[in-house]
Amino acid sequence: MYNELPADEQSEIEQALVHDADLAAKCADLLLAQRALNSLQQNPRPDTTQAILQYSRTFLKAG
């Protein structure tokens, strides 16, 4: 899914996908889910970021 296998193991997986339609379908579903999840971007609200920054400044003043 993330291209993290050594080349020989990746080759074995690719061969398994060629010869096992059920495995290939499950892999395709996982790749679609991965793509959908990767497209989501979550960011904190600006006031949350400001609260964290303000809190961290208290440590700078204390030291």
> According to the model, what pLDDT value does residue 30 have?
95
- What is the mean predicted confidence (pLDDT) over 43-53? 93
Record the tokens describing residue 35, joined without a space: 């793509």
**Structural domain span for residue 28:** 7-62
pTM: 0.57
Q: What is the pLDDT of residues 8-27, one digit of tens each?
A: 999 999 999 999 999 999 99
Structural domain count of the chain: 1
Q: What integer pLDDT is reported at residue 38 of this predicted model?
A: 87
DSSP3 helix / strand / coil % (the chain, rounded to 5): 80, 0, 20
Indicate whether 1 belongs to any domain: no
Q: Is residue 40 part of a domain?
A: yes
The position carrying tokens 């990767």 is 38
**Domain-located, residue 2:** no
